[in-house]
Amino acid sequence: MAYRSDSADPVLIVGSMALDSVRTPTGEVTDALGGSADYSSVAASFFSPVQIVGVVGDDFPKEHLRFLADRGIDLAGVRPISGGKTFRWAGYYDFDLNIAHTLDTQLNVFADFAPVLPDAYKDTKYVFLANIAPKLQLDVLEQVRNPKLTVCDTMNFWIEGARADLLKVLERVDIAFMNDAEARQLTGKMSTVKAAKEIQAIGPKTVIIKKGEHGALLFAGDEHFSAPSYPLEDIADPTGAGDSFAGGFIGFIASMDDLSPTTLRRGVIYGSVMASYNVEDFSLNRLRTLTERDIADRYRRFKEIAYFDALEEAVL
Ligand code: AMP
């Protein structure tokens, strides 16, 4: 069975389109393709058609746009600004690869960006507000007409710098993604469980807490699901793990057009699969060669890792 069907529901994604300069213990890249919208769109495109809303400067290499278009991603919502500079992020990771240290964030063309959705995008049912200024996430929410599922992500930069707008986004979305440190930062709660409940109380019925290489937790109403961590021996670059997780998650859900608990759980595992592949190489490079067979193989491995036998009743 192929995962991707062009007749599946598309996913609308707004987020950063970036040139990243990243250093990790195993190497570095300068001005490489990155950005929350790029990672999440490419991950989602393995499952569903994707529509990106974003902005780039005229320094954004055409080959990156070609790569996105070749993956069937609709770029009608990408605005090129002539004379503008693309968003840039620079960061590094030490031996704790779960912690990204930001060296520099240059919003550039994103500083004055006001997204205007092409008409054809306004009825898209699946909407992912990837990590970008919460104000822009709100702008997109204002323009979509009747979404079936809205999902958001964010990061420490916006929790610190745009908290009031971020709370407005959280009041309106169905699902929020955060990593464990961001959930603690937002709520002031040390316990991940308490933090997730507090975020649920703000708005989203479902909260997904990513724990880097230690897996992910899904809190849906009172239900709880724990995705295992994948035993990857070599991580080249953790950048984009969260975005490819979210992209795989929402791409899969849109392809199923179903919001049942089982589909949400499977979505969390497909998200984990996409993130675990993404970190094997710098930038989006691993996703360039990824096949459906690779995805199916690793999904099976996740199932094996999480399996355990019940004790016989007689033993209890
Ligand atoms: P993550 O999945 O959390 O590792 O996201 C990494 C991506 O986030 C990088 O490719 C960056 O370009 C992008 N990024 C970093 N800072 C920001 C920011 N403040 N707003 C939007 N995107 C960002």
State residue 218 phi and psi, 5-degree precision.
Answer: -110, 125
Q: How far is the CA of 31 from the centre of ligand 1 (A)?
A: 13
CA torsion 175-180-181-186 (nearest 10°) is 40
**Where does residue 104 rank: exposed (0-12), middle (13-18), buried (19+ CB within 10 A)?**
exposed
Low-confidence residues in the chain, pLDDT < 70: 1, 314-316
Task: Indicate the top mutation candidate among 89, 108, 235 to test ligand 1's pocket, ranked by most ligand atoms within 8 A of CB.
Answer: 89
Distance 316 CA to ligand 1 centre (A): 49
> Between helices 261-278 and 241-256, what is the axis angle to 10°?
140
Ligand 1 centroid to Cα of residue 71, in Å, is 21
Cβ atoms of 123 and 227 closer than 8 Å: no
Mutation pick for ligand 1 pocket among 60, 155, 210, 284 (CB with most ligand atoms within 8 Å):
155
* Residues with Cβ within 8 Å of residue 233, at least 6 apart in sequence: none
Q: Computed from CA positions of residues 253, 256, 260, 264, in that sequence, does the dihedral angle turn out positive or negative?
A: negative
| 102 CA distance to ligand 1 middle (Å) | 9
Question: Could you read off the pLDDT of 74-122 as tens digits, one per residue?
Answer: 999 999 999 999 999 999 999 889 899 999 999 999 999 999 999 999 9
Residues near ligand 1 (Cβ within 6 A):
16, 18, 20, 34-36, 89, 105, 131-132, 155, 157, 239-243
Q: Which residues contact 138 (CB under 8 A, 6 or more apart)?
A: 165, 168, 169, 172
**pLDDT given for residue 1 in this prediction:** 61
> Measured in angstroms, how far is the CA atom of residue 212 from the centroid of ligand 1?
15
Ligand 1 atom 19: residue of nearest CA: 157
pLDDT at 4: 87
Q: What is the pLDDT of residues 21-48, one digit of tens each?
A: 999 999 999 999 999 999 999 999 999 9
Q: Give the position, in ligand 1's atom list, of the atom nearest the Cα of 38.
A: 10
Distances (CA, A) of 305 to 231, 234, 253, 259, 277: 9, 18, 22, 25, 16
Nearest in space to 141 (alpha carbons), one of 167, 164, 115:
115
Residue 167: other Cβ atoms inside 10 A: 14
Identify which of 14, 24, 36 to mutate to test ligand 1's pocket (most ligand atoms within 8 A of the CB). Answer: 36
